[in-house]
Amino acid sequence: MKKSILSVLAISALMVSCGGKNTENKSEAHSVETTEVKSVECVASGDVVFVDLDYVMASSAFYAKEGVAFETKMQNFQQKSATTQEAWAKKEQNLANEYNKLQAEAAKLEQDYAKGLITTLNAQQKQEELQKKGANIQTKMNNFQTTVQTEGQELQAEEQALAEEQMVIMNRFKEIANKAIEELNADGRYKMIINAVSVVDADPTLNISDLVLERVNKLYEEGALE
């Protein structure tokens, strides 16, 4: 379930365009996204660093408090959903068994009457009993369908609420992560900061994830999201 939260971060890379002091550098920066050579030049110059946002979130005080709490909610919901569906399946099977038994009784009654093993009066009495059983089973089926519809709608509403809560958590983390990165690079020491999901290969020394994590934790403890 942790992946379900963290995977949202991999959708888009967090980038600050390679900038320069003159027009020529700006032109090179513009080429970074399309020209591999320019990207290599940025890395070689030490202007480009990367941050593993999945790692930052998973290791943050933010996740320890808000993320874990949400994971617990989701696990509880999944268990509730599984238990409810198991109960539905069991009830449905029981009703099917009752219906099949009734069908077998009706078939036997017809056979016995055809063979002359039961009087017309007794056959009519048993038929009335079977009809009552059939009506009772139909009532049970109708009630079961109503229960499934009601409980299904409740589960769907709860699932939608959890999905919205998950999105809020992701937005809150992105907010504090962006603020941390902006503060970390306030002096413009890095020309480009990219999400690790976009990195194919890089010098580990260009990884600023721990620096971002430290700043994220500091901001969170200071109530930056309140």
pLDDT digits (tens, 9 = 90+) for 88-104: 999 999 999 999 999 99
pLDDT tens column, 24-33: 433 333 333 3
Q: pLDDT of 51-108, one tens digit each?
A: 999 999 999 999 999 999 999 999 999 999 999 999 999 999 999 999 999 999 999 9
pLDDT at residue 46 in the model: 58
**Domain extent for 75:** 2-221
Whether the model pTM is above 0.95: no
3-state secondary structure the chain: CHHHHHHHHHHCCCCCCCCCCCHHHHHHHHHCCCCHHHHHHHHHCCCEEEECHHHHHHHCHHHHHHHHHHHHHHHHHHHHHHHHHHHHHHHHHHHHHHHHHHHHHHHHHHHHHHCCCCCHHHHHHHHHHHHHHHHHHHHHHHHHHHHHHHHHHHHHHHHHHHHHHHHHHHHHHHHHHHHHHHHHCCCCCCCEEEEHHHCCCCCHHHECHHHHHHHHHHHHHCCCCC
In a domain, 192, yes or no: yes
Does the residue 111 lie in any domain? yes
Q: Is residue 179 part of a domain?
A: yes
Q: What amino acid is encoded at 10 in this protein?
A: A
> Is residue 9 a part of any domain in this protein?
yes
pLDDT band (50, 70, 90) for residue 165: very high
Asked if the structure places residue 226 within a domain, the reply is: no
The number of distinct structural domains making up the chain is: 1
Percent of the chain at pLDDT > 70 equals 80
The contacts of residue 96 (CB under 8 Å, 6+ apart) are: none
Residue 5: pLDDT band with limits 50, 70, 90: low
Mean pLDDT, the chain, integer = 83
pLDDT of residue 168: 96
Query: Are 217 and 180 spatial neighbours (Cβ–Cβ below 8 Å)?
Result: no
Q: What is the mean pLDDT of residues 124-146?
A: 96
Q: Residue 225: what pLDDT? A: 84
What separation in angstroms does the CA of 111 have from each of 82, 91, 104, 114? 43, 31, 11, 5
